[in-house]
Amino acid sequence: MLKGILNFTHHLLEESVEKGDTVIDATCGNGHDTLFLTKLVGENGHVFGFDIQDQAITNTKNRLALNKSNNATIIKDSHSNFIHHMPVDKLTRLGGAIFNLGYLPGSDKSVITRSESTILAVEGILSHMKQNGIVVLVVYHGHEGGETEKEQLVRYMHLLDQKLFHVLYYGFINQKNDPPFILAIQKRN
pLDDT digits (tens, 9 = 90+) for 106-119: 888 888 899 999 99
User: Residue 17: what pLDDT?
Assistant: 97
- What range defines the domain where residue 64 resides? 5-187
The total number of structural domains in the chain stands at 1
User: Residue 106: what pLDDT?
Assistant: 82
pLDDT bucket at 104, cuts 50 / 70 / 90: confident
Average pLDDT of span 86-105: 92
pLDDT digits (tens, 9 = 90+) for 33-81: 999 999 999 999 999 999 999 999 999 999 999 999 999 999 999 999 9
CATH code for the domain in which residue 17 is found: 3.40.50.150
pLDDT digits (tens, 9 = 90+) for 119-154: 999 999 999 999 999 999 999 998 888 899 999 999
* C-alpha–C-alpha distance, residues 148 and 52, integer Å: 20
